A and B are shown apart, each in its own frame.
Chain A
């Protein structure tokens, strides 16, 4: 029972990180029908940007306002890079065949990954201890303050995003653009601006995810974006790519699944089981758990 509860807590923590990153994949796919392969590397870059802001801008302060500032500045930096990425790598290929955009996405991924290596070096860096090491022991189940912060903040961001997309005028424009871009234009929606907004939101959430990865795992490497990006991508597919609640659900489920495999089987097998899960879901439900919402004509 202890293992179960412990892995439940761990699973929810990594699951919320996966979910935050998965939202970036799914929102871009929703509007552009494009997998932004550079997203994982953006997440990795965010951890390094956060590290540099901590050492160079904040003078290694770990007070609450300083930590909040690190999060906000990193998110703003990554949002700007996200806009540039869309402008440079994707917008010129909007009308091009799908494969060109995919190749461009893979190229952007390599550029960002190698960019991180050029700036911060190829060796593992240690992410600062922004949150004090506080643990609570509930009869053998240990939960850290970091885990609580990651879980709560992720949930707050996801609920906020959900409400934004479902309840606001701009959210309706995002949904319209993901259903039919030309029809959205006829409504007077500036689709280019919606796409830029999607990149801003996706990159900022990814930035928070990258900082969480740094906080939680401590060691950050220039190429870690590949691994976390892949997990988040799988999470987005499991939930139903293009579907925002799907990415949240997929991320949480994948995190829990991973943690339980690590707890009950072996952590070395976690990756293999993750992809077995992906294959099974794709066979049983190719559109993911929540899938694309389709209105059937009656």
Chain B
């Protein structure tokens, strides 16, 4: 690993009360990469994401981003440093309009950047058509677009995407994954958590496989796609 590492987790442990959820994981993300974290339900993927954003407290270990230690910062400061999180379950503000949601995404900016707003509308034209509509009335896929768009509004350097395909029509999943590629092309580093291993590995440069709180496998997407373990566990192929 060279010095272009943007983000690094080292020996991270997280627990809920006495129950350990993350049992010492380490991973790196280089600038401009798309890195995916795969794993089954309960493997600790969302826990990892929530700990990065400091919605959860780490028990031990370190999370570093551009030289800053994140584990000791409050959640709102992490957004300011340039990490934006589109959470599992989308968590859009249902009784606010689409545009109000997007503007809240730019809360850390003293002024809303019109270019960013235009870019988000360009990525997801559906949001522009529905900007005056309450977010809670959107379909699941549209809410996911809104959650991603909202996370982009603060011009993050790194985007955390937690299960963007969850509960969404396959055709919209494809569209959303295409736009994630587009977001990455604009220079945003992406850390993507997914259960849909096939779609995630097609998109990502590298991946980690989490298994009950530990990293079971790591490698480039090609290596993981070819790995019998991944094929059996996540791609439904028998050997």
Contact = CB atoms under 8 A, between A and B. Distances in A.
A215 to B, nearest CB: 37
Contact of B107 (A180, A187, A295, A296): A187
A182 B147 CA distance: 13
Given A172-B104, A175-B96, A187-B105, A298 B137 contact: yes
B117 to A, nearest CB: 15
A293 interface: yes
A183 B107 CA distance: 12
A28 to B, nearest CB: 19
Contacts of B103: 172
Contacts, number: 77
A221 B54 CA distance: 47
A296 B138 CA distance: 9
Nearest to B89: A183
Contacts of A183: 87, 91-93
B87 A173 contact: no
A179 B103 CA distance: 15
B136 A173 contact: no
Interface string A27-52: 00000000000000000000000000
B94 interface: yes
B134 interface: yes
Given A179-B95, A296-B136, A185 B100 contact: no
Contact of A295 (B79, B95, B104, B139): B95
Interface string A166-177: 000100110110
A184 B96 CA distance: 13
A186 B104 CA distance: 10
B76 A293 contact: no
Contacts of A295: 94-95, 134-137
Given A187-B104, A187-B105, A188-B80, A176 B137 contact: no
Interface string A186-205: 11111100000000000000
B95 A293 contact: yes
A134 interface: no
Given A175-B96, A182-B91, A295-B94, A188 B137 contact: no
Given A175-B96, A186-B53, A187-B107, A180 B91 contact: yes
B231 interface: no
A180 B143 CA distance: 15
A188 B94 contact: no
Contacts of A294: 94-95, 136
Q: Bin chain B's interface residue count.
A: 20 to 34
Interface residues of A, number: 23
A186 B136 contact: no
Nearest to B136: A295
A293 B134 CA distance: 11
Interface string B107-135: 11000000000000000000000000011
B65 to A, nearest CB: 15
Given A175-B93, A295-B94, A295-B95, A186 B137 contact: no
B47 to A, nearest CB: 13
A190 B76 contact: yes
Contacts of A293: 95
B93 A186 contact: no
Nearest to A173: B107
Interface string A264-298: 00000000000000000000000000000111111
A178 to B, nearest CB: 10
Interface of A: 169, 172-173, 175-176, 179-180, 182-191, 293-298
19 contacts: A172-B96, A172-B104, A175-B96, A176-B93, A179-B96, A182-B55, A182-B87, A183-B91, A184-B104, A185-B53, A185-B54, A186-B79, A187-B79, A188-B107, A293-B95, A295-B136, A296-B137, A297-B137, A297-B139
Given A187-B107, A188-B107, A297-B139, 7 more contacts: A169-B107, A172-B96, A175-B93, A186-B55, A186-B91, A186-B151, A188-B80
